[in-house]
Structure 1
Amino acid sequence: MRTFIRKGLLIFISLSLVFLSSCGFKDIDKRIFVMAIGIDLTENKEKPYKLTLKLAIASGALKGGQGGEKYTYVTMESENLAKAFRMMKTHVDKETDFGHSRIIIVGKSILDKDLRDVMDLIIRRRDIQMISWVGVGEPSAEKVLKTEPPSEMAGSISLPNFFSDNGVESSYIVSTFLFDLRRKMLESGIDPILPIIRADKSMKKFMVNKSIIAPKNNNNITLSSQETKIYNLLVNNSRKAEITINKNKMAFSVALFKTKAKYKIITAPNSEPVIKMKIKMVGIIEESNESVSPSLLKKYNKLVNQKTKKDVHQLLTKFQENNVDPLGFGLRYKATRLHTRDTYKEWTQMYPNVKFDVTVETSIKSTGTIE
């Protein structure tokens, strides 16, 4: 009886194998890897989207492993992005693999129209990593993708070095992950901010020192290099920032190696709402146009406090006047109120009348000179 059961089970398993699908694995020589994705808008109403892919050519395919082209590019215009992705497969002789794609660049025109439409497809595609960085390309996403600095190596593009903190470390650079962009696009009380990636005319150099706020109402606000630095100081506790002071004939720069900013939203009854922000900074004087004395560190601290307080207040006021909130004040308000009904509506009515009370404490540890 046991022998009969075993034979029957063996026959059943053998027949079941017929219905199993084959493996979907493809050898590496049958794949081509997408290193970056660029999306622009065209002036053609029938085909409004322009998709550009930066594809890596395996170095082993080059003669002797050196020389030749490191990348190839595929560009297509289409009425929608889903079709463009599908049609692009017919333009290359290998399967396009998005597993190594870490950069998504959108043109400025995408933000002016609606970023949600584009991000909806990108988020839905299971082969695009949620930890990809997103940026805005100038003059276009295509131009940025086709820019190849001399330091760029085959199979590894240079753009991730600006955002990963493994390469460039700068207080002028804003980094935004795809998953974080999606969260801020859907969450009320905070607006997404993206880095602006500029390519020079020779298409041999990147410049990443500005940013752009993309709120839900498409009222995009561009931040200068200085404003981007102040934003990073408030949000990311920048350790590579500098503060430059020009007072009368004296000028000096303070290199900051520690910063911390925190704030509270105070809504006392029968009084105007106030955001009290306290900023602490530690650094040293790294440059000056005249001799600086250690005995005057309190004076230098006071000058840095005044300058930073003025810059922070101007930036916060700019956010308020343009009705944008990249720092997430509205999100903090919703999270710190006991009642849960209409808290965001309360904040939208309150935000235009909020007063900012900024306090800065600077501790300059050294003048950077030896007596």
Structure 2
Amino acid sequence: MRYKLLLFISALLFPLLLGGCNFKDIDKRIFVISMGIDKLDDQKNNLRVSLKLAIPQGNPKEGTEQFDIIVEETKTVADAVRKAKSKVDKELDFGHMKVFLIGENMAHDDIYQIINWGVRRRDIQLITLLAIAKPTALDVQKVKPESERIPSNALILGLSKSGTESPYIVTEYLFDYQRRLEERGLDPILPIVKAEGDHFRIDQLALMKKHRIGIELSPNETKLYNLLTTKNLKTNLSGKMEENLYELNLESSRASYKINARPGEEPVLAYEIHIKATLEENESHENMTRPVLDTIEDATEKEINGQVERFLKRLQKHETDPIGFGLHYMSRRWDNVSEWEDWQKIYPRLTFKVSTHVRIHSAGTAH
């Protein structure tokens, strides 16, 4: 009898307990899938916050995707979210937010306030994808590709590379960006998403000087960054030999480096790049014999050496370190008091030496 009485009392108290912890049933919540923040010229309300809300459908395969975008202009992100709640009939849920877009104007100014807000919110996942949006975050939010069946899914698949595997896309998460902000010897990076009609274009990388854009890499420089930081990058390499163009398809790749900064010697950063590839396209009419492939290998090695050296010198010129050379240097030193100051003196004097080894193991199938 006492056991049944306890069960009865527990059943009565359970709704009260849920109400006390602000629990909302799923039918009383609406999910924010992506969020965008733009900087405005208005002195009073200088932030425009756009929230993309997913409207649930019976079957996403039917292609009846529906979403709503709530836009608020205020001084702070937190205030914009509070005001947005007055425009919907359900509780805003950020637990499924996968993409955080920062407008180009905001990225050129200062994004510390935005990152700080995102990290502090306990309901925003630290694996949220970060990107710079061109021309504005709201423009990118409005893009709906024909292939998309779930709101913002095309952007999520692209930025995370869980769908397409492009050598021009660099994935950056909220937790990693926060780490790069606070870490010495490793500068932040953000991919750039451009709205082009009904499609996205993600083929550039922005190197941040802590809280704002430092330089924007070209698509080819973005590919070089991926080649230096990603093992077995799936991409192509272009080249020219005797006025004939050719394309190599990478089967495997790896890159490593060493920093020689002994006292009394000029500091040198030596890169080793190893590539295995197949010949995918060729303008020449001659048979691809082993001696011909060897010649293409030599030409490709020289081309990559030159491109990577120019890329590293550009990073050095702009005093940015997205690969983490400084962190690598300090991790191998014991003088914790002066190692950072030592690196700041060494980096501008670094000489780069790149050695690439290309092996074409197949010329494809010719008929």
- After TM superposition, is the score higher than 0.5? yes
- CA offset at residue 67 of structure 1? 7.3
Report the CA distance between 1:287 and its aligned residue.
0.1
1:210 equivalent among 204, 222, 230? 204
**How many percent identity over aligned positions?**
35
Deviations 1:244-303 (A, max 9, x none): 012332110101121100001101221111101100001101001113422222111111
Q: Match for residue 232 of structure 1? A: 226
Q: Name the counterpart of 1:250.
A: 244
Of 212-221 and 166-175, the range deviating more from structure 2: 212-221
Bigger CA drift: 153-162 or 280-289?
Answer: 153-162
8 Å contact kept, 1:264–1:275: yes
Structure 2 residue 269 is the aligned partner of structure 1 residue 312: no
Q: State the one-letter code of the partner of 2:288.
A: S
Q: 1:146-201: CA deviations, max 9, x gaps?
A: 1001111135621111133321001111110110011001111111111110111x
Kept after mapping to 1: 8 A contact 2:65/2:149: no
TM-aligned CA distance change 1:217 to 1:117, over 3 Å: closer
Stretches (4+) displaced over 4 A: 65-69
CA distance in 2, matches of 1:77, 1:61: 34
SS at 1:257 equivalent:
strand
| Native 8 Å contact 1:173 1:210 kept in 2 | yes
Native 8 Å contact 2:35 2:99 kept in 1: yes
Matches of 1:312 and 1:246, distance apart in 2: 17
1:293 pairs with 288, 293, 296, which one?
288
- Residue 138 of structure 1: aligned partner: 134
Task: Sort the Cα spacing of 1:344 and 1:187 in 2 relative to 1 into closer, same or farther, 3 A.
Answer: same
Deviations 1:114-168 (A, max 9, x none): 1211100010001111111100100111100110011111356211111333210
Match in the other structure for 2:107: 111
Deviations 1:13-47 (A, max 9, x none): 99xx69x7434332222111111010110011111
Structure 1 position 69, deviation (Å): 6.1
State the secondary structure of the residue aligned to 1:221. strand
User: Partners of 1:217 and 1:273 in 2: how far apart?
Assistant: 29
TM score, norm. by length of structure 2: 0.91
State the partner residue of 2:150.
Answer: 154
Q: Residues 273 and 217 from structure 1, CA distance in 2 versus in 1: closer, same or farther, beyond 3 angstroms?
A: farther
Aligned partner of 1:364 in structure 2 is: 360
Question: Contact between 1:242 and 1:256, CA under 8 Å: does it hold in 2?
Answer: yes
Q: Count the aligned residue pairs.
A: 357
1:364 is paired with a residue of what secondary structure?
strand
Partner Cα distance (2:59, 2:239) in 1: 54
Does structure 1 residue 260 correspond to structure 2 residue 254? yes
Distance 1:219 1:194, change over 3 A: closer
Q: C-alpha separation between the residues in 1 aligned to 2:59 and 2:248?
A: 50
**1:36 equivalent in structure 2:** 34
Unpaired runs of 5+ residues, structure 1, are 1-5
**CA distance, structure 2, for counterparts of residue 71 and residue 218 of structure 1:** 31
**Separation of aligned partners in 1, 2:167 and 2:65:** 34
> Cα 1:217–1:84, aligned 2, differ >3 Å: closer, same or farther?
closer
Aligned equivalents of 2:165, 2:360: Cα separation in 1: 22
**Residue of structure 1 in register with 2:47 after alignment:** 49
> What residue number does 1:341 align with?
337
Task: Verify the 8 A CA contact 1:242 1:254 in the aligned structure 2.
Answer: yes
After TM superposition, give the deviation of residue 228 of structure 1 in Å.
0.3
CA contact (8 A) 2:111 2:211 kept: no
Query: Partners in 2 of 1:228 and 1:69 — Cα distance?
Result: 33
How has the CA–CA distance of structure 1 residues 50 and 366 changed in structure 2, closer, same or farther, with 3 Å as cutoff? same
* 3-state SS in 1 of match to 2:81: helix
CA contact (8 A) 2:161 2:171 kept: no
Deviation at 1:218, TM superposition (A): 3.5
Contact 1:51 1:77 in 2 (8 A): yes
Whichever residue aligns with residue 163 of structure 2, its letter is G
Matched, 1:79 2:75: yes
User: What corresponds to 2:274 in structure 1?
Assistant: 280
Which residue matches 2:215?
221
Q: Which moved more, 1:228-237 or 1:107-116?
A: 107-116
Distance in structure 2 (CA, Å) of the matches to 1:49 and 1:191: 26
Taking the aligned partners of 1:94 and 1:232, their CA distance within structure 2 comes to 42
Counterpart CA distance in 2 for 1:218 and 1:85 is 24
Q: Structure 2: which 5+ residue stretches go unaligned?
A: none
Measured in 1, the distance between the counterparts of 2:65 and 2:166 equals 31
Q: Are 1:232 and 1:238, in contact at CA under 8 Å, matched by a contact in 2?
A: no
Residues 265, 238 of structure 1: alpha-carbon distance in 2 compared, 3 angstrom cutoff: same
Confirm whether residue 58 of structure 1 aligns to residue 53 of structure 2: no
Q: What secondary structure, in the 3-state scheme, does the structure 2 residue paired with 1:46 have?
A: coil
